[in-house]
Amino acid sequence: MPRVNYEAPTSVDDAVKILAGASGLAKVMSGGTDLLVQLRSGRVKPDLIVDTKRIPGLIGIREEGDFFVVGAATPGVMLSGNEKLDHAWPGIVEGADLIGSTQIQGRASLAGNLCNASPAADSVPAVIAARAAVVVAGPNGTREVPAESIPTGPGRTSLAKGEFIVAFKIPKPKPHQCDAYLRFIPRTEMDIAVVGCGTNVTLDASGTCIDARVVLGAVAPTIVVVEDAAKALIGHKLDDATLAALDAAAQKACKPISDKRGTIEYRTKVAGVLARRTAAIAFERAAAR
Amino acid sequence: MSKHHVTTTINGEPTEYLCEGQQTMLDVLRDELGLTGSKEGCSSGDCGACTIIVDGDIVCSCLMLGVEAEGRKITTIEGVAEGDKLHPVQQKFLEHAALQCGFCTPGFIVAAKALLDQNPNPTEEEARYWLAGNLCRCTGYDKILRAVMDAAEVMRAEARR
Ligand SMILES: Cc1cc2nc3c(=O)[nH]c(=O)nc-3n(C[C@H](O)[C@H](O)[C@H](O)COP(=O)(O)OP(=O)(O)OC[C@H]3O[C@@H](n4cnc5c(N)ncnc54)[C@H](O)[C@@H]3O)c2cc1C
Ligand code: FES
Ligand code: FES
């Protein structure tokens, strides 16, 4: 394997300086479960790997006012082990927890999942559905942007040279608000989503939906926020007519490919099914709190 | 390009080595330190034959860089037995004949040990999910699961004594 330089800065500023000053291709590393596979296969040929895990705050979950702040490199095992986050956003934790095996969970992070920019990334739909923001550090300081603005196409992100994600800011749920994530794979473990769906709903006291976000994975080149699916839910209870409208909106948002995991027709149909199922779970959870 | 000097703890022993940036932990264990118990089945995180424990969590050593071990505590298959005394998981693998070619065995044993350290009383379903990242092309998994569940029982009995 070609030689690669490695740096493990211990501050955000140092990391930005190293990234911005790198002459060749510099890649940020969190858990390395995508990056090191791609390095090995030759799909990426970095000159420098910048490991963020020694920067204080990059690993860990804290609460700041109305937000959970999740360090960008926090591994899955710490997300599922955090009772408060799991209680607040079971859908986010379900999505993150589906990534790979126990071994992969020891390393895989939300930032890596988002920035690898696969449309099938399992943690991303529920994170976007919760209107999470990411804190991006770079040569011009830090900025906060919605998580959905990061991936721009398979393997591509909107991050500029010298920039990296420091943390996810996930708003805490409002009264009667909750989420769910489901993916469809042909077996029960260790596979890539044919379709994934994250749904986040807020209800009023009578069980009528007053806010919603429905986000589909693996049905287009990027993850899709399905505005019409949210519209199908808002103002309604979860009856058959609402479910039918939701299913139709989800199907309409699909621009999938056919591959070994599923045909266009199949993916489209499954997207509608998962939208209905995640909505049912999210409504039930939201009503119960 | 200079090599990195790494100071770490492997199987309780303070350990130092030099490695290059791109070298994986698995490369370091096998090629630099002569710890060849961890196996390379795929180098892509799929098979679990390279499983090690880092600060209490299992990871694929093929998807970790050797330089990342700085200051960490690592357990490999070589550190699972206590001297000549096999770990209950190892003993039960032998008794249940839970291996054929044995290539996957170190990874299964390390992963199973980590499971039982955290959860002394797993259901079979929990054990199956925990071990889903360990692949075996020989045994069909059944004997492995029986060995792990049996080892769990032995360890619970030992803990009660
Ligand atoms: C066996 C196996 C099974 C898998 N199963 C699944 C699965 O079921 N579902 C799924 O969605 N994924 C799966 N993956 C893919 C991978 O584990 C996830 O995408 C994981 O979340 C990546 O996180 P990481 O921290 O390891 O990322 P890394 O490998 O560290 O990084 C991934 C990419 O993001 C960039 N990056 C990392 N951190 C930052 C940051 N802070 N700022 C900017 N850019 C950054 C890196 O430069 C790289 O391009 C699997 C991988 C393996 C090996
Ligand atoms: S060699 Fe590491 S998972 Fe297969
Ligand atoms: S015993 Fe041969 S791979 Fe498991």
A36 interaction partners in chain B (CB closer than 8 Å): 24, 62-65
**Chain region(s) in chain B for CATH 3.10.20.30:** 3-78
C-alpha separations of B28 from A21, A40, B2, B69 in Å: 29, 15, 16, 10
Tell me which residue range forms the domain holding A207: 177-287
CB contact set of B83 (below 8 Å; sequence gap of 6+):
none
**Residue A230 contacts residue A260 (beta carbons within 8 Å):** no
Predicted local distance difference test score (pLDDT) of residue A116? 97
Rounded to whole angstroms, how far apart are CA atoms A178 and A16? Answer: 36
| Ligand 3 centroid, distance to B137 Cα (angstroms) | 5
- The answer to whether residues A200 and A252 belong to one domain is yes
- The answer to whether residues A27 and A129 belong to one domain is no
Q: Which residues 225-264 of A are in CB contact (within 8 Å) with B?
A: none
Question: What CATH number is attached to the domain comprising A239?
Answer: 3.30.390.50
| Ligand 1 centroid, distance to B54 Cα (angstroms) | 19
Last residue of a domain, one of A139, A171, A203: A171
Q: What Rg value do the Cα atoms of chain B yield, rounded?
A: 16
Determine the distance in angstroms separating the CA of A17 from the nearest CA of chain B, rounded to an integer.
Answer: 19
**Residue A53 contacts residue A35 (beta carbons within 8 Å):** no
Q: Which residue has the higher pLDDT, A1 or A105?
A: A105
Q: B13: part of which helix (H) or strand (E)?
A: strand B13-19
Q: Residue A164 above 80 pLDDT? A: yes
Angle in degrees, CA B71, A103, B8, rounded to 5: 15
Rounded to whole angstroms, how far apart are CA atoms B108 and B81? Answer: 14
Domain B88-160 fold is DNA polymerase; domain 1 (1.10.150)
Q: Which residue of A has its CA nearest to B107?
A: A103
Predicted local distance difference test score (pLDDT) of residue A261? 82
C-alpha separations of A23 from A13, B67, B125 in Å: 18, 22, 50
Q: Whose CA is nearest to atom 32 of ligand 1?
A: A112
Partner A contacted by B132 (CB < 8 A): yes
Partner A contacted by B72 (CB < 8 A): no
CB contact set of A156 (below 8 Å; sequence gap of 6+):
A117
What is the pLDDT confidence band of residue A192, given thresholds at 50, 70 and 90? Answer: confident
Partner A contacted by B67 (CB < 8 A): yes
Looking at 3.40.50.300, 3.40.190.10, 3.10.20.30, 3.40.1350.10, the CATH number of the domain B3-78 comes to 3.10.20.30
Residue written as token pair 């920019």: A117
Mutation target for B interface from A10, A103, A185: give the one with most B CBs within 10 A: A103
Give every residue of chain B whose pLDDT is below 70, as ranges: 1
Rounded percentage of chain A residues whose pLDDT exceeds 70: 100
Predicted local distance difference test score (pLDDT) of residue A259? 85
Q: Residue A191 above 90 pLDDT? A: no
Last residue of a domain, one of A146, A171, A196: A171
* The pTM of the whole model exceeds 0.90: yes
Predicted local distance difference test score (pLDDT) of residue B161? 83
- The answer to whether residues A189 and A92 belong to one domain is no
Confirm whether A56 is domain-assigned.
no
- The answer to whether residues A268 and A233 belong to one domain is yes
Partner A contacted by B59 (CB < 8 A): yes
- The answer to whether residues A85 and A167 belong to one domain is yes
Partner B contacted by A190 (CB < 8 A): yes
User: In the predicted model, what is the mean pLDDT of chain A?
Assistant: 96
Confirm whether A251 is domain-assigned.
yes
Count of domains for chain A: 3
- The answer to whether residues A84 and A9 belong to one domain is no
Q: What Rg value do the Cα atoms of chain A yield, rounded?
A: 19
Q: Whose CA is nearest to atom 3 of ligand 2?
A: B45
Predicted local distance difference test score (pLDDT) of residue A103? 98
- The answer to whether B133 contacts A102, with C-beta atoms less than 8 Å apart, is yes
- Token duo for residue A126: 């529920």
Q: Which residue of A has its CA nearest to B127?
A: A102
Confirm whether A161 is domain-assigned.
yes
ipTM confidence: 0.96
Predicted local distance difference test score (pLDDT) of residue B1? 59
- The answer to whether residues A229 and A164 belong to one domain is no
Confirm whether A181 is domain-assigned.
yes
**Chain region(s) in chain B for CATH 1.10.150.120:** 88-160
